[in-house]
Structure 1
Amino acid sequence: MRIVFMGTPEFAVPSLEAVAAVHEVTLVITRPDAVRKRGKKLEPCAIKKRAYELGLPVLETSRMTPKALDAVREARPEIIVVAAYGCILPDELLAIPSIDCINVHASSLPRWRGAAPIQRAILAGDIRAGVSIMRVVHELDAGAYCAQADLVVGSSNTAELTQRLSVLGAQTLVEVLPALADGSAVWTEQDESCVTYAHKVTKAEMFLSPEFSAQHNAVLVQASSDTAPARLVLAHKGVRVLQASVVPAVDEIAIAAGEVVVEHGRVYLGCAQGLLELLVVRPDGKRDMSAQAWSAGLRGEGLTWAKQ
């Protein structure tokens, strides 16, 4: 089949690779280079880099302009595949492919429509997370789906779960494409009574707090991302928490909420309920380091911690 692929981040790469291995990708559309790291330099997105490695034609655009729509028409797609492109798609685009326009969405729809389904699944304590191959329609993530698959979240953090779901999404996508081509795909309309929305996660809601339980703080760390990191202030200095764990009740020591204890290179935070042990951190302006290495610089009694 002739396919136009639209995507931007690392999540979309396995889907592009899987499609390109068995179908003719006539055009890859992705968002323009952007500042993605601390270096303040423009960098290409993951899809642009991989598309060039695969020898595929690339169009960079932040929105579907008339010129971009003309480029899609010239590519004559039978199917348009979208995977985390990052732009609202106009109805004009949806009418171009001869078969359909579909999206690889990182949730088991109708749960978690919207921008941050993976983080919201973690924050909500979902046992399983999934992917849906859905028809792109005018309303956000409201189209019928023709395939779904899921997996156990477990202890996966946002980055790990994103990678696992990206692979699962690619597998599910290529498995259903033949059915789309011959018209045998079975579509299921979403149950509107079960819809939940995955609104963008803000930095403010990711601040750890001694007013929360250790379990809740640990979930915030698990759901942390570069755009909305789990953070706190300890000894008047900001720090990002990359890994942490709840201390089992049998190993708890007496620490009041808001207090910090450094013992044999281990850093414990007192929470409203239970203790949180920091494992890997990134102090402001410094590199990632183990809590043990970081603890060597923590001096004095009466250490406390608070929200950012």
Structure 2
Amino acid sequence: MRIVFMGTPDFAVPTLSEIVGRGHEVVAVYTRAPAPAGRRGLDLTPSPVHAVAERFGLPVFTPKSLKGEEAAEAFRAHDADVAVVVAYGLILPQAILDAPRLGCLNLHGSLLPRWRGAAPIQRAIMAGDRETGVAVMQMEAGLDTGPVGLVERIPIGPDMTAGELHDRMMVIGADLMGRALAALERGGLAFTPQPATGVEYAAKIEKAETRIDWSKPAQEVHDRIRGLSPFPGAWFPLGAEEARVKVLRSTLAEGSAAPGMVLDDRLTIACGAGAVRLVELQKAGKQPMGAETFLRGNAVPPGSRLA
């Protein structure tokens, strides 16, 4: 089929590669414009999708907006059978959604209608979900409201981080989209409307959510740590300078005391109920390190209390 691919981050790269590998004709790749990088922001770095598209020799388009008749006319000129959208980053107006003969398919990282929106991977873990998935849906004007064609369910392990789930999901999602396109080409991809119940919105992660609140139950603290790992990272201030320390990995532990109390020499921290053990940490400008290595250069003695 003639396909327009629309995506930007690493998450979208395996799907683009899958589409090319299956022999489809990718007539255009839409992605975000190169972003300033380097110390002075003078260098422009293309998106991961942009870089891969160029290696495949595919035509790349980086409009700042898709609004207006000029953008719609340029999109229609690709004469695409279908558009595939994976974490593109721009809103698709109705004229764009209507342009491909078979519409626009979106790969979304959740079990819709739960976790519609910007941060479904992080929100699923932060909420303590034990299962999530990837879905191929037909796009429409609403936010992730379209009917679903294919779904693959993915278990969430008790210590799995958002980064680990992201990496697993993007591989499974690429295969799922490949199968969806094959079914669509045969005329055998059936879409089911999303149920009206069970809708949850995965709002963008705000900075205020990233500081660890030790007064919360240990399970909630643990879920927040792994849901925000590796980026933006849940953190706590340490020492008189209140240097930010990100916690990239934790596990549930036994013990109780006042919230924030350090219970032992393995960085077990008391929470509002129960405790968590900090397994991997990172100070600003430093590489991630295990708790044992971290404690060699940072004084966090048992009996002290984290803010």
* Fold conserved between structures, TM > 0.5: yes
Residue number in structure 1 paired with 2:138: 135
8 A contact 2:262–2:300 mirrored in 1: no
Displacement of 1:211 in angstroms is 0.5
Displacement of 1:262 in angstroms is 5.4
Seen in structure 2, the aligned counterparts of structure 1 residues 284 and 228 have a Cα distance that, compared at 3 Å, is same
Residue number among 56, 61, 73 corresponding to 1:54 in the alignment: 56
Residue number in structure 1 paired with 2:193: 189
Letter of the 2:30 partner, please give it.
I
| 1:1-308 matches, cutoff 5 A | 1-22=1-22, 23-35=24-36, 40=41, 42-66=44-68, 67-154=70-157, 155-225=159-229, 228-235=232-239, 236-247=242-253, 249=254, 252=255, 255-261=257-263, 263=265, 266-299=266-299, 303-306=304-307
Displacement of 1:96 in angstroms is 1.0
SS class of match (1:231)? strand
Counting aligned pairs with the same residue, the percent is 37
| Whole-Å separation in 1 of the counterparts to 2:300 and 2:169 | 44
| Whole-Å separation in 2 of the counterparts to 1:11 and 1:232 | 29
SS class of match (2:92)? coil
| Whole-Å separation in 2 of the counterparts to 1:82 and 1:287 | 34
The alignment yields a C-alpha RMSD, in angstroms, of 2.1
Seen in structure 2, the aligned counterparts of structure 1 residues 120 and 299 have a Cα distance that, compared at 3 Å, is closer
Displacement of 1:48 in angstroms is 0.9
SS class of match (1:163)? helix
Displacement of 1:37 in angstroms is 8.4
Displacement of 1:255 in angstroms is 4.5
Task: Name the count of aligned residue pairs.
Answer: 300
8 A contact 1:203–1:229 mirrored in 2: no
Letter of the 2:150 partner, please give it.
A
8 A contact 2:162–2:230 mirrored in 1: no
8 A contact 1:27–1:72 mirrored in 2: no
* Bigger shift: residues 288-297 or 45-54: 288-297
| Whole-Å separation in 1 of the counterparts to 2:167 and 2:200 | 23
Structure 1 segments of 4+ aligned residues over 6 angstroms from their partners:
36-39
Displacement of 1:73 in angstroms is 2.1
Letter of the 1:30 partner, please give it.
T
| Whole-Å separation in 2 of the counterparts to 1:177 and 1:29 | 18
Seen in structure 2, the aligned counterparts of structure 1 residues 188 and 169 have a Cα distance that, compared at 3 Å, is same
Displacement of 1:229 in angstroms is 1.8
Displacement of 1:279 in angstroms is 1.5
8 A contact 2:161–2:227 mirrored in 1: yes
> Deviations 1:5-34 (Å, cap 9, x if unpaired)?
000111111111111112010100000122
Seen in structure 2, the aligned counterparts of structure 1 residues 300 and 69 have a Cα distance that, compared at 3 Å, is closer
SS class of match (1:125)? coil
8 A contact 1:157–1:222 mirrored in 2: yes
- Using structure 2 for the length normalisation, give the TM-score: 0.90
- Using structure 1 for the length normalisation, give the TM-score: 0.90
Displacement of 1:246 in angstroms is 1.5
Letter of the 1:45 partner, please give it.
S
